[in-house]
Amino acid sequence: MYVEMKQINKKFDGFQASSNVSFGVEKGQLAALLGPSGSGKTTILRMIAGLDEPDSGDIMINGRRVNQLPGSRRGIGFVFQNYALFRYMTVADNIAFGLEVQKQDKRTIKRRVEELLELIGMQDLGKRYPHQLSGGQRQRVAFARALAPNPQLLLLDEPFAAIDAKVRRELRTWLKGMIERVGITSIFVTHDQEEALELADLIIVTNCGKVEQIGTPKEICEKPESDFVKEFIDTARVWRL
């Protein structure tokens, strides 16, 4: 297990956001936290990233308990839902940011930025500003920026939520290809069943702060372990038909 959540509990002002959450993601796997809005999946992601602290339970990354470790030292790349690109910096500067913080030398940074711009297919757009990019382009820059410091774990918070339907499909395929190519362990949050079923190796279904079921897309579809999972997945299958 590369990432493990053990009996995680989190309360926000009396509201139980996470209740006894436990799951594990293997190295190199692409896992999806799937559930309706408000089911606690983003909370889980943020706790793995160190943006929020659990009230109880253990967060393990690479066999190490990281609860007390600040997010920046957990080897994580995070893609925010609205990308959170630095609006006063160019695309190239955005991607370079993590490396500059690590005080790498200019040549290394330049090379890595060029490498990533090529990876996301935006070689000529390095000098653009975020507001001059389309939604899909911003998403790709956010992805590159998260990857630049060579993290071991990639976390994505509803990466396609802010994108229109048509571009979404292309971007989905592109992202899956990228992640497989880079080979990085990834966890993404989504409320879109189709997305989870299509992209993920492992799906963790959440509801009301609890984990309903963990399994491969096939297992989730064919052997739903609760009524909620059954209905939730059925909605997706109806659409697919």
CB of 155 to another protein, least distance (A): 9
214 binds another protein (CB under 8 A): no
78 binds another protein (CB under 8 A): yes
84 binds another protein (CB under 8 A): yes
Among 87, 107, 131, 166, binds another protein (CB under 8 A): 87
What values do phi and psi take at 80, rounded to 5?
A: -75, 160
Neighbours of 96 (CB within 10 A): 22
**Side chain identity at 229, as an amino acid letter?**
V
107 binds another protein (CB under 8 A): no
Q: Write the DSSP assignment of 129-166 as a string of letters.
A: -GGGS-HHHHHHHHHHHHHTT--SEEEEESTTTTS-HH
What is the footprint of another protein within residues 122-151 (CB under 8 A)? 145, 149
Nearer to another protein, 96 or 197 (CB): 96
User: How many whole angstroms separate alpha carbon 236 and alpha carbon 240?
Assistant: 6
80 binds another protein (CB under 8 A): yes
Nearest Cα residue to 61 out of 151, 149, 159: 151
Only one of the segments 95-103, 165-173, 183-191, 227-235 lies at the binding site for another protein (rule: CB under 8 A); that segment is 95-103
What values do phi and psi take at 213, rounded to 5?
A: -160, 150
15 binds another protein (CB under 8 A): no
Nearer to another protein, 72 or 108 (CB): 72
91 binds another protein (CB under 8 A): no
CB of 238 to another protein, least distance (A): 29
What is the footprint of another protein within residues 24-53 (CB under 8 A)? 49-51
Q: Which residues in the chain belong to E strands, given as ranges?
A: 3-12, 15-25, 30-34, 56-61, 64-65, 76-79, 153-157, 185-190, 202-207, 210-215
Q: Tokens 């994580």: give the residue.
A: 76
71 binds another protein (CB under 8 A): yes
Q: Which residues bind another protein (CB under 8 A)?
A: 49-51, 71-73, 76, 78, 80, 82, 84-89, 97-98, 101-102, 145, 149
